[in-house]
Structure 1
Amino acid sequence: MRPVEQYRAASIAVLAGWLSRHPDEETRWRLIAEFLEEHRHEPREERLRLLSPEPPSVGDSRWDVFLAALAEHLAAKDGQAGPAWAETRRLRQFWFPFNTPAARVDAFVHSPASFRRRGVFIHPQELEVA
């Protein structure tokens, strides 16, 4: 009989690996939603541990910066600073992942600080899991 493997929530580094293997946007957003769902059910200490390993590049600087902003955003929700690896990741040109005129305005106004300061504009609702 094989030993039963214990469930482990994915780290942000594991998420980066998933994103690099799935370049289509729809799948990437589903993977992010799955990560967020797993993350929110973990104890606080574990949530912070899941953000600490520096993720490898996804192969697209926009998504690499998105992961840094996400890590800082999630850490801040737990009253902590983001991981050190996230500090240097920034875009030179703004990115609106949901790029319709209405979504751009909404994201520009409401984007969380960790995303906005890196040049990624996303409405906080896009980071919520039902």
Structure 2
Amino acid sequence: MVSMKQVRQYHAASVAVLAGWLSDHPDEETRWRLVAEFLEEYRHEPPVVRLDLLASEPASVGDPHWDVFLAALAEHLAAKDGKAGPPWTDTRRLHRFWFPFNTPAARVDAFVHAPASFRRRGVFIHPQELEVA
């Protein structure tokens, strides 16, 4: 017989938990897989839970590109639910543009189509890259 103490209830990861995962995995391919996993879990939660998953400011990943990416992602996801981004996202910006998918075609496409929360922070990513999960 399994006691109730041994059964753990599932909880979707927060953006703060995602930051910890990204810190633990410095290779880009793994990081994008972790972002995809986060997005998949996030999409299955009700809106009130989704906002809670964005509320806590994540610790630095150790790479300013990814730190700003998380702020842009949190604001972008909140906006999709008709809400403002969490206050911690306001100060995170890059001084130089970052194109995570850096081929000539991807750069042009991202420059034209990047969601506003990413574009205003200097992160240029095509919205389709956020739909990978």
Query: Structure 1-normalised TM-score?
Result: 0.98
Distance 1:41 1:74 in 2: 13
Matched, 1:77 2:77: no
1:26-70 C-alpha deviation (Å, 9 max, x unpaired): 000000000000000000000000000000000000000000000
| Runs of 4+ more than 4 Å apart | none
Structure showing the higher helix proportion among its residues: 2
Larger Rg: 2
1:109 corresponding residue in structure 2 = 112
Equivalent residues in 2 for 1:45-64, closer than 5 Å: 45-64=48-67
Structure 2 unaligned regions, length at least 5: none
Q: Equivalent of 2:40, from 37, 41, 54?
A: 37
Matched, 1:11 2:26: no
Q: Equivalent of 1:24, from 22, 27, 31?
A: 27
What's the RMSD between the two structures over aligned residues? 0.7
Distance 2:80 2:7 in 1: 33
Q: Equivalent of 1:65, from 68, 74, 96?
A: 68
1:100 corresponding residue in structure 2 = 103
Measured after TM superposition, the shift of residue 129 of structure 1 is: 3.1
Distance 1:66 1:129 in 2: 16
The percent identity for this pair of structures is: 81
